[in-house]
């Protein structure tokens, strides 16, 4: 099994309720030549169903990284993170908080709940592309996940 | 003495009788024969008659002789009887008298000793046989006097007056007593030359005399050393003696006064009439009492004295001398005057004090009740004088136990002052709140003399305080309500801030992101102008993003809690400046940061503050060829002032007041980009630390921002 194939099999789970942000994130990944699959959960509830659920909605395998927005209707990002860490199957899953908020309490709580990284989405799209590129490279290529 | 008279008469009679007998005999012999011859002529008869005449003469003579002898014998008998009686008298006097009589012969032996010796000296005559025996009994201190007696005895002087000496002799019972010894002249008796030595007990009178002398000495001492002035005046009212105290009082020396001055020389002229009265009183009444004089001391100063004098007269009522004592009243009078003044002053205050004044005696009965007390409580002084505090409806029933307890405590020797706040009734039955300031006055022995009370009617104050308490309570309620509302508002603000940070930024990102994508992917369908517009859209959205971030930062300054600690401002400044230099390594810059600048404050806020200040300094010096930034400190009025100085473009001072207002910019966005929130944030941080910040600049000459933070920030 080659490293590249292994890399191609890795996918990103994007948890984001804002369709603009979904598109912008995907465009940024494209622009950065990161061609890995991106699966999208439109809110926290869906994200949990996908990650923890079984059967039809449940994912066959875990993503390489979860890009998690915080401010979402129904179940917010921090609650999603808490559940991920609580679950035996997903507790070592890399989770990167990708959000507009720079509130200290969000950052602190995020890390407390076991976020692997905290990235603030810049308004400047060029900066955003730069951030996403680094993210993708890091988590999809460099990082060795726990199995 | 009885001896001469009778003897003389007796001798004269003997010669008279013999003379008369001789004359009569001659007359008889001469004339009787002649008469017979004339009467009788007869010789025989004559012879017979002559014989009868002879017998007659013999007979007459015999009768006369018998009469004379009888008288003589009777007189002798009478004399003898008288002599015996007298002898008995003298003997009994000698033997039972109160003195020892010793007859001493020339060989010093006592040839006669009267029986009184046993009683007076206790010795038998056998034990005291001569002068040497007596010498052995004489007190050794007095032995010289005894030798003087002995010397006189031996000097054989006949015409010496009776020689007297007093000395102590030890009696047989061992006691020493004073005796007077009198040695009489030498006399010859029954051919023996002897003297009489009389020994009389004078012990008691000697002791009395000694005591008298002692008391005289004491009097003399008392006179001289008495703290009171004494002088004595002779019969001419000249001062004949004066004691130390009075000399000191007068300022004269003894020799200047005694015998030279009268009292008149020592007193003020206006007191001379008083002295005249004194003399008159002494002469007429024997005493002069309580005379007040102003004396003039030697140095001219005056003092006030009081004089008492007593006169002493001789038997014929003539003035011998007078004794006067003089007491200096000056100090006492001054003290009395001061006391009087003090009393008048006190009384004035008591009567006029705005507080009520009440005085209680040692049994806590009212003795003083000032006019103000009357106006506070309504009772007049007459109504309450002599009353005990519980004898009229005065102290509020609920407070009576407290007052009783406090007063008992004070009288039991506790604190001599207390303050009791209690309620009192007025005469009309109203209730007053009063503050009683009580103090106990004790005498030297610590016994209570009186209690003085000052009463302050604090009813208005108490009512006002009650009102204030009510107001405070409603104020607290209000504050609580406000606080609750404020907390609510804060929460809303936080929610709002959160929403702003998240929700407002999201659309901006979309605007920017899609504009960018539009520019990239539809470049060929847009002309230059269209792309320009898209650039403007992106600039605007990015600037709005910055604005939102800054507004949030500013609001966060007000919201988060201070966590005060010591912050090393020197290394913080260096760190920030270094990162600025790293961002623009091409810029030439000299930075100068003082060592050891430490401030007290919230570390995160201080960092934000310094970041803003140094960002500005860096930004506004960007057009200089060489950037100079200095961070330093100086002491001013005990405060440490920190300043950040740059050589940038500065700002016009006329806009100083806008400098720290949010969104106020003094430079065009194109010249120096910025949101205008940075200095507002800096000021808010400083204010939250209760510090101050100010700025100074000359346009194009750089700017100085100075601030200080208190050591203990709140």
Tokens of A88: 């035996």
CA distance B567 to chain A (A): 21
pLDDT at B539 over 90: no
CA distance B506 to chain A (A): 7
CA distance B646 to chain A (A): 31
pTM over 0.80: no
In B, which residues are within 8 Å of A69 by CB distance? none
Per-residue pLDDT tens for B693-703?
999 988 788 89
Per-residue pLDDT tens for B320-372?
888 898 888 888 888 888 888 888 888 887 777 788 889 888 888 999 898 88
Note whether A30 contacts B: Cβ–Cβ < 8 A.
Answer: no
In A, which residues are within 8 Å of B538 by CB distance? 124-125
Q: For residue A100, give the chain B residue with the closest CA.
A: B502
How would you class B211 by CB atoms within 10 Å of its CB: exposed for 0-12, middle for 13-18, buried for 19 or more?
exposed
B676, B655 contact by CB (below 8 A) = no
CB contact under 8 A, B512 and A27: no
CB contact under 8 A, B545 and A101: no
Note whether A24 contacts B: Cβ–Cβ < 8 A.
Answer: yes
CB contact under 8 A, B498 and A103: yes
Per-residue pLDDT tens for B554-600?
777 777 788 889 999 999 999 999 999 999 999 999 999 999 899 99
What torsion, rounded to 10 degrees, do the Cα atoms B221, B224, B230, B236 define?
Answer: 100
CB contact under 8 A, A21 and B541: no
Residue of A20, A72, A100 to mutate when probing chain B, most B C-beta within 10 A? A100
CB contact under 8 A, B506 and A128: no
CA distance B658 to chain A (A): 29
pLDDT at B294 over 60: yes
Rg (CA), chain B: 69
Nearest to A123 among B498, B541, B556 (CB): B541
**What is the structure's pLDDT at B713?**
44
Of the two residues B472 and B45, the one the predictor is more confident about is: B472
A73, A43 contact by CB (below 8 A) = yes
Those residues whose C-beta lies under 8 Å from the C-beta of residue B366, and which sit 6 or more positions away, are B358, B359, B360, B384, B385, B386, B387, B389
In A, which residues are within 8 Å of B546 by CB distance? 123
Tell me the CA distances in angstroms from B11 to B6, B75, B146, B613, one per residue in order: 9, 12, 47, 168
Q: What's phi and psi for A15, nearest 5 deg?
A: -105, 110
pLDDT at B601 over 70: yes
**What is the structure's pLDDT at B1?**
41
| pLDDT category of residue B156 using cuts at 50, 70 and 90 | low
Mean pLDDT of B390-414: 85
pLDDT at B477 over 80: yes
* Angstrom distance (rounded) from CA B160 to CA A14: 166
Place of tokens 């001062």: B239
CB contact under 8 A, A100 and B509: yes
pLDDT at B190 over 80: no
| pLDDT category of residue A131 using cuts at 50, 70 and 90 | very high
Question: Mean pLDDT over all residues of chain B?
Answer: 86
pLDDT at B617 over 90: yes
In A, which residues are within 8 Å of B503 by CB distance? 71, 100
In A, which residues are within 8 Å of B549 by CB distance? 102
**What is the structure's pLDDT at A3?**
40
Counted residue by residue, chain A has a size of 147
pLDDT at B9 over 70: no
The dihedral region occupied by A100, where left means phi > 0, alpha psi between -120 and 50, and beta the remainder, is: alpha
B267, B287 contact by CB (below 8 A) = no
Mean pLDDT of A107-120: 93
* Angstrom distance (rounded) from CA B493 to CA B481: 18
* Angstrom distance (rounded) from CA B356 to CA B368: 10
Tokens of B345: 């002053």
Those residues whose C-beta lies under 8 Å from the C-beta of residue B11, and which sit 6 or more positions away, are none
pLDDT at B506 over 50: yes
Q: Out of A100-114, B237-251, B548-562, B623-637, pick the least confident.
A: B548-562
CB contact under 8 A, A125 and B513: yes
CB contact under 8 A, A20 and B503: no
Note whether A27 contacts B: Cβ–Cβ < 8 A.
Answer: yes
CB atoms within 10 A of CB B691: 20
Our measurement of the distance from residue B450's CA atom to the centroid of its chain's CA atoms, rounded to an integer in Å, reads 21
Could you write out the DSSP letters of every residue in B476-543? HHHHHHHHHHHHHHHHHHHHHHHHIIIIIHHHHHHHHHHHHHHHHHTGGGS-HHHHHHHHHHHHHHHH
CB contact under 8 A, B502 and A71: yes
Of the two residues B168 and B494, the one the predictor is more confident about is: B168
In A, which residues are within 8 Å of B505 by CB distance? 100, 121, 123
Could you write out the DSSP letters of every residue in A76-122? -HHHHHHHHHHSTTTTT--EEEEES---HHHHHHHHHTT-SEEEEPP
In A, which residues are within 8 Å of B502 by CB distance? 70-71, 99-101
Of the two residues B42 and B576, the one the predictor is more confident about is: B576
* Angstrom distance (rounded) from CA A63 to CA A90: 10
pLDDT at B8 over 90: no
Mean pLDDT of A18-39: 89
CB atoms within 10 A of CB B655: 13
Of the two residues B555 and A30, the one the predictor is more confident about is: A30
B704, B596 contact by CB (below 8 A) = no
CA distance B556 to chain A (A): 9
**What is the structure's pLDDT at A2?**
37
In B, which residues are within 8 Å of A21 by CB distance? 506, 509-510
* Angstrom distance (rounded) from CA B129 to CA B115: 13
* Angstrom distance (rounded) from CA B511 to CA B536: 11
Q: Out of B26-40, B231-245, B266-280, B468-482, pick the least confident.
A: B26-40
**What is the structure's pLDDT at B607?**
93
Of the two residues B118 and B695, the one the predictor is more confident about is: B695
| pLDDT category of residue B82 using cuts at 50, 70 and 90 | very high
B627, B587 contact by CB (below 8 A) = yes
Nearest to A128 among B497, B502, B513 (CB): B513
Tokens of B504: 């407002």
* Angstrom distance (rounded) from CA A70 to CA B143: 139
In A, which residues are within 8 Å of B497 by CB distance? 103
* Angstrom distance (rounded) from CA A14 to CA A67: 5
The DSSP symbol for A17 reads S
Residues B144, B148, B149, CA angle at the centre, nearest 5°?
A: 120
* Angstrom distance (rounded) from CA B139 to CA B135: 9
CB contact under 8 A, B542 and A20: no
| pLDDT category of residue B262 using cuts at 50, 70 and 90 | confident
Q: For residue B549, give the chain A residue with the closest CA.
A: A102
CB contact under 8 A, B501 and A125: no
Residue of B498, B503, B509, B553 to mutate when probing chain A, most A C-beta within 10 A? B509
pLDDT at B543 over 90: no
Mean pLDDT of A81-106: 88
pLDDT at B54 over 50: yes
In A, which residues are within 8 Å of B507 by CB distance? 20
Note whether A109 contacts B: Cβ–Cβ < 8 A.
Answer: no
In B, which residues are within 8 Å of A71 by CB distance? 502-503
| pLDDT category of residue B159 using cuts at 50, 70 and 90 | low
* Angstrom distance (rounded) from CA B459 to CA B423: 9
B431, B396 contact by CB (below 8 A) = yes
* Angstrom distance (rounded) from CA B340 to CA B333: 10
Tokens of B622: 């960007």
Q: How many CA within 13 A on the CB side of residue B43?
A: 0
CA distance A130 to chain B (A): 13
| Strand B627-636, strand B639-646: pairing | antiparallel
pLDDT at B302 over 50: yes
CA distance B530 to chain A (A): 18
CB contact under 8 A, A102 and B552: yes
CB contact under 8 A, B549 and A99: no
Per-residue pLDDT tens for A35-57?
888 999 988 888 998 988 766 66
Q: Out of A2-11, A14-23, A130-139, pick the least confident.
A: A2-11
pLDDT at A117 over 90: yes
Q: Out of A105-109, B56-60, B161-165, B429-433, pick the least confident.
A: B161-165
| pLDDT category of residue A105 using cuts at 50, 70 and 90 | confident
């Amino acid at each position: 099994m080659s490293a590249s194939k292994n890399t191609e099999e890795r996918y990103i789970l994007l948890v984001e309720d804002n369709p603009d942000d979904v598109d912008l994130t995907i465009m940024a990944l494209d622009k950065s030549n990161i061609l890995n699959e991106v699966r999208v959960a439109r809110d926290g509830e869906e994200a949990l169903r996908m990650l923890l659920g079984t059967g039809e909605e449940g994912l066959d395998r875990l993503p390489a990284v979860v890009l998690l927005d915080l401010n979402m209707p129904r179940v917010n990002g921090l609650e999603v993170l808490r559940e991920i860490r609580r679950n035996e199957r997903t507790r070592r899953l890399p989770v990167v908080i990708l959000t507009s908020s720079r509130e200290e309490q969000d950052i602190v709580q995020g890390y407390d709940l076991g976020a692997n990284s905290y990235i603030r989405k810049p308004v400047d799209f060029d900066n955003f592309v730069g951030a996403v590129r680094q993210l993708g490279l890091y988590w999809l290529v460099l990082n060795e996940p726990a199995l | 003495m009885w001896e001469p008279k009778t003897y003389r008469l007796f001798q004269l009679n003997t010669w008279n009788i013999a003379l008369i007998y001789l004359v009569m005999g001659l007359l008889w012999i001469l004339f009787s024969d002649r008469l017979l011859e004339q009467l009788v002529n007869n010789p025989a008869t004559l012879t017979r008659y002559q014989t009868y005449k002879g017998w007659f003469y013999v007979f007459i003579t015999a009768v006369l002789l018998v009469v004379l002898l009888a008288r003589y014998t009777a007189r002798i008998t009478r004399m003898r009887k008288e002599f015996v009686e007298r002898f008995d008298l003298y003997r009994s006097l000698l033997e039972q008298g109160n003195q020892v009589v010793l007859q001493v012969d020339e060989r010093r032996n006592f040839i006669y000793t009267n029986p009184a010796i046993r009683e007076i000296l206790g010795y038998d005559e056998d034990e005291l046989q001569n002068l040497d025996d007596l010498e052995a009994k004489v007190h050794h201190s007095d032995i010289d006097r005894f030798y003087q007696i002995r010397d006189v005895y031996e000097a054989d002087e006949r015409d010496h007056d009776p020689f007297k000496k007093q000395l102590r002799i030890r009696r047989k019972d061992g006691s020493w007593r004073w005796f007077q010894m009198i040695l009489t002249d030498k006399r010859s008796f029954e051919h023996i030359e002897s003297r009489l030595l009389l020994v009389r007990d004078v012990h008691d009178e000697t002791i009395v005399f000694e005591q008298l002398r002692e008391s005289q000495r004491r009097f003399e001492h008392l006179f001289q050393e008495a703290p009171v002035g004494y002088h004595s005046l002779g019969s001419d009212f000249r001062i004949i003696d004066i004691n130390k105290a009075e000399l000191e009082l007068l300022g004269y020396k003894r020799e200047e006064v005694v015998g030279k001055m009268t009292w008149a020389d020592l007193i003020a002229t206006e007191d001379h009439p008083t002295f005249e009265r004194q003399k008159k009183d002494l002469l007429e009444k024997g005493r002069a009492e309580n005379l007040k004089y102003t004396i003039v001391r030697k140095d001219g100063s005056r003092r006030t004295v009081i004089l008492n004098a007593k006169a002493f007269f001789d038997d014929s009522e003539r003035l011998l001398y007078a004794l006067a004592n003089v007491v200096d009243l000056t100090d006492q009078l001054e003290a009395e005057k001061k006391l009087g003044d003090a009393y008048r002053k006190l009384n004035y205050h008591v009567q006029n004090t705005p507080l009520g004044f009440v005085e209680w005696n040692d049994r806590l009965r009212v003795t003083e009740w000032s006019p103000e007390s009357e106006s506070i409580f309504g009772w007049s002084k007459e109504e309450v004088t002599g009353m005990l505090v519980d004898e009229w409806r005065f102290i509020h029933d609920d407070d009576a136990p407290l007052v009783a307890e406090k007063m008992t405590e004070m009288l039991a020797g506790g604190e001599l002052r207390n303050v009791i706040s209690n309620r009192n009734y007025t005469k009309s039955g109203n209730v007053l709140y009063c503050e009683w300031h009580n103090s106990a006055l004790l005498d030297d022995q610590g016994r209570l003399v009186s209690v003085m009370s000052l009463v302050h009617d604090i009813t208005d104050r108490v009512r006002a305080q009650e009102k204030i308490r009510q107001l405070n309570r409603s104020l607290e309620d209000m504050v609580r309500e406000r606080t609750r509302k404020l907390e609510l508002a804060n929460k809303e603000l936080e929610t709002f801030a959160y929403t702003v940070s998240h929700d407002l930024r999201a659309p901006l990102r979309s605007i920017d992101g899609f504009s960018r994508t539009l520019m990239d992917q539809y470049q060929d369908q847009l002309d230059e102008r269209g792309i320009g517009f898209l650039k403007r859209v992106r600039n605007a959205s990015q600037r709005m993003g910055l604005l939102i971030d800054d507004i949030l930062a500013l609001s966060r300054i007000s919201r988060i809690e201070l966590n005060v600690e010591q912050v090393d401002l020197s290394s913080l400044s260096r760190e920030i400046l270094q990162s600025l230099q790293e961002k623009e390594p091409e810029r030439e810059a000299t930075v100068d940061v003082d060592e050891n600048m430490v401030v007290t404050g919230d570390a995160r806020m201080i960092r934000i503050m310094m970041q803003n200040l140094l960002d500005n300094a860096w930004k506004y010096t960007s057009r200089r060829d060489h950037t100079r930034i200095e961070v330093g400190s100086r002491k001013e009025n005990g405060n440490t002032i920190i300043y950040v100085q740059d050589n940038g473009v500065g700002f016009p001072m006329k806009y100083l007041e806008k400098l720290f207002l949010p969104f106020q910019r003094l430079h065009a966005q194109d010249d120096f980009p910025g949101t205008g929130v940075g200095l507002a944030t800096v000021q808010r941080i400083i204010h939250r630390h209760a510090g101050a910040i100010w700025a100074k600049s000359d346009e194009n000459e750089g700017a100085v921002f100075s601030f200080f933070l208190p050591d203990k920030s709140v």
